[in-house]
Structure 1
Amino acid sequence: MTAYNRKTRKHTRSNLYQDITDKIIAQLEQGTFPWVQPWGSPKANASLGLPQNAVTERNYSGINVLILWGAVFEAGYSSQSWLTFRQALKLGGTVRKGERGVTVVYASRFIPGEGKKKGQFTSDTSKNPRAIPFLKRFTVFNLDQCDGLPEQVTAQSVSPDTSLIEPKAEELIRASGIDFRIGGRRAFYSPDDDYVRVPPPQAYFEPINWHRTALHECSHATGHKTRLNRDQSGSFGSKKYAFEELVAEMSAAFLCASIGIVPTVRHADYLASWLQVLREDKRAIVRAASQASKSADYLTGFLNSVPEAGSKEAASCA
C-alpha cells in the first residue's frame, strides 16, 4: 500500500502500524470501542462470533479481529467469514467487480544479515534483540462480496443457543483451573496471590454482566508467570497498568464473542489512559490485541477438556 506525499510529490509506503493506530484512536475519540461492537444495532447483520477464514475455518486473531469486526459493521455485512481473491477463484467463485477488500496483517520479525549474509525471517515471538518487528499485509473479502461460491462455504453458521451462554462461561472458568472466588463487593485479580474474586451474580443489575466481569478478571489471571507471563508490574494509573487493562478488556470481548455473550465495555473510565498509550506508541494496539487473542485462546483451549454436565467430575466453579 502506498500513500502520496504532496510535498515530495512521490508515493511512499504507508506505515501500517500508524494507519491502524490512527483508525483506532479516531473510533475511541468518537466513543466507539472497536472490540465491543454495537451487536444490537440495525447494522449488526452478522451473527455474533469471531471473524474466520472461509476456507481454512481458522479464526483471525489479534488486531485482525478489530479490523474485520469494524469492516463488518461499516458495510453491514451478514457474514463473519472472509477469504482472499485467490481463495475465491480456487473455490470456483469470484469477487464482484468494484468490490474493495480489507487489509489484514500478519506479524513477523526480520533479523538483518551480517556482512554479505542474507537476513532471515523468524516468528513473531522471537526474543532475539536484533529482530526487527514488522507487519505483512494482505487483502481479504467478505463472503457478501463474492459470487459463485459453493454452498458449503456460504452457509451461515447457526446462532449460538442463548440457553448455553451462562453454562459455557461457568465451564470455561472451572476448566481453566484459576482460583476463582465468588463474594465481596468488588471484582479484581490479585497477581501476588494468583486468584480472582467477583461479587455474586445477584449483585449485578443485569446478571449477564457477571459473566463479562468474570471473563475480564480471568483474562488478567492468564498473565500470571505460570501461564502467559505478561508484565503485570504496573501500578494503578501507570502506562503498564493501562496496557494490561486494555489487554484484559479485549480478551474478555473475544471470549464473550466465542461463547455467545454480547461484549460490553467494563472500563470506559480508562479511555483517557488508553488514548495516551496509543498516541505515544503506534505499535501498542497491535501488541495489545495480540496479547488479548493469546489470553482468550489460552482460556477457550480448556473447553475441549471440560467434563460433560452431570458427570462426577463436574463441580461448581465457586
Structure 2
Amino acid sequence: MAKERFDIKQHVTDTIIAQIEAGTPPWRKPWTGDVSGACLPLRHNGEAYKGINILMLWATAHVKGFSSARWMTFKQALELGGNVIKGQRATKSVFYGSIEREDENAPKGDESKRRIRFAKTNNVFNVDQIEGLPEEYYIRPEPPRDLGTEADPELEAFFASTGIEIITTEKPRAYYHPVQDHIHMPPIETFFTASGYYGTLAHEATHAACGPTRLNTQKVHANRKEYAFDELVAEIGACFLAVQLGVEPHFDQSAAYIECWLDALKSDKELIFKAAAEAQKAVDLINELAKGGDTQKAA
C-alpha cells in the first residue's frame, strides 16, 4: 500500500484550530514558558523564523512549556555537539524552496524553464529537548516589560518613526481610518496597562501597513468574511510586533470573530498561511518605515 502523503497545510491548520477551540490560540498567549516572557523563535544559527513557523513553534512551546527561543534539526544538534534527549518528539516546521523544470507549454525547440515553488517540512527540536550544546545556545527569553500606565519613550519613538499618523482623543475607541490614513488611540492613561496600549497600537499599525497607501492588501469596504480575515491578520501581526518590541501582547477579539475564524479555517487550509504571510509582510514594512523607508508602499 502506498504511503499516504503528509499534508503540511492541513497539519498546520488542524493545529491552529485545536489551539483556538481550546481557548489558547498561539497568538493570544505566545510566550514560550509559564515563567518566561515572549520571544520570537530562532533557528540554530540565530536566524529568526517568519510567518507560519512562528505560530507553529509558539503553539508547541506553549503546550510543552519550552523556555528556549532556539530550534534545530536532529542533525544540526549532532553537528553542534548536542544530543536530542531520548523520548523527545519533533515539531514540524515549514521550509519553502523552488526547482526548475522544463516548460511543457513552451514552443518546440525552446528550452525555456519555469520555476516551481514547493513547501516541505523539517522536524525540529527546541533546545530544551537537547542536551550537551554549547551554553550560548540555551537562550532564555526576557520577561515582558511591566510598563504600568506611563508612556515608554522607546516605544513612543518607534511608532512615531514609522510616519503613520497617530491621533489621540478622549473617544474610547482604537481604530485605523483607511480613508484618512491615520490611527486613533484613546489616551494611554485610560488603559489598565501600558503594554495593553502598545499591543493595541501594534494591532492598528498592522492595519495601517496593510492599508491602501502602503501594502494595499485590505479592502476599505470589506464584507464580513473579509473584515474577519483582516482582523486575523492584524491580530497575528500585532503579536509578532509586540513580541519584537518586548511587550506582552493583549488581545480581546469577540466570540463572533473566533467563530468566523474557525469556520474559515475549517473550510480553507490555506487561510492561516495567507494570514500569517500578510501579517509578516506588514511587520516587515513597519520595521522598514521605522528605519526611514518610504511610507508610500501602495501596490
Alignment of 1:207-222 (within 5 A): 207-222=194-209
**Is 1:105 the equivalent of 2:89?**
no
2:115 corresponds, among 113, 121, 140, to 121
1:23 is the counterpart of 2:12: no
Asked if residue 65 in structure 1 is aligned to residue 49 in structure 2, the reply is no
Which is worse superposed, 243-252 or 85-94? 85-94
Aligned counterparts of 1:113 and 1:243: Cα–Cα separation in 2: 37
2:146 aligned with 1:154, yes or no? no
The residue type equivalent to 1:212 in the other structure is G
Cα deviation for residue 157 of structure 1 reads: 5.1
Task: Select 2:183's aligned residue among 169, 187, 196.
Answer: 196
Which residue in 2 is equivalent to 1:135? 119
| Cα shift at 1:64 | 0.7
**Unaligned ranges ≥5, structure 2:** 106-110, 294-299
User: How many aligned positions are there?
Assistant: 284
Q: What is the letter of the counterpart of residue 220 of structure 1?
A: H
After superposition, give the CA deviation of every residue in 1:140-159 in whole Å (9 maximum; x if it has no partner).
11111112211222253554
Partner amino acid for 1:47? G
Q: Which whole-Å CA distance do the structure 1 matches of 2:12 and 2:202 have between them? A: 26
Amino acid at match of 2:271: A
Structure 1 portions without partners, runs of 5+: 1-8, 123-132, 307-318
Residues 283 and 73 of structure 1: is their aligned pair in 2 closer, same or farther, counting only changes over 3 Å? same
3-state DSSP of counterpart to 2:266? helix
Q: Which region of structure 1 is more displaced relative to structure 2, 19-28 or 61-70?
A: 19-28
User: Which residue of structure 2 lines up, in the alignment, with residue 3 of structure 1?
Assistant: none
**Superposed displacement of residue 161, structure 1:** 5.2
Aligned CA distance change for structure 1 residues 240 and 301 (closer, same or farther; 3 Å) = same
> TM-score, normalised on structure 2?
0.84
Offset, 1:231: 3.2
1:63 deviation in Å? 1.0
Aligned-partner Cα distance in 2 for 1:216–1:226: 17
| Secondary structure at 1:291 match in 2 | helix
The CA deviation at 1:114 is 2.8
RMSD across aligned C-alpha pairs, in angstroms? Answer: 2.8
Between stretches 209-218 and 43-52, larger displacement belongs to 43-52
1:223 shift after superposition? 0.8
CA shift in 2, pair 1:248/1:158, >3 Å: closer
Length-normalised TM-score, structure 1 = 0.79
User: Is 156-165 or 178-187 further displaced after alignment?
Assistant: 156-165
Residue number in structure 1 paired with 2:297: none
Q: Which residue of 2 aligns with 1:275?
A: 262
Task: Check whether the contact 1:180–1:197 (CA below 8 A) recurs between aligned residues.
Answer: yes
**Match runs of 1:34-113 below 5 Å:** 34-37=26-29, 39=31, 43-55=33-45, 57-108=46-97, 113=102
Give the conservation status (yes or no) of the 8 Å contact 2:102–2:114.
yes
**AA partner of residue 24 (structure 1):** I
Query: Are 2:69 and 2:140, in contact at CA under 8 Å, matched by a contact in 1?
Result: no
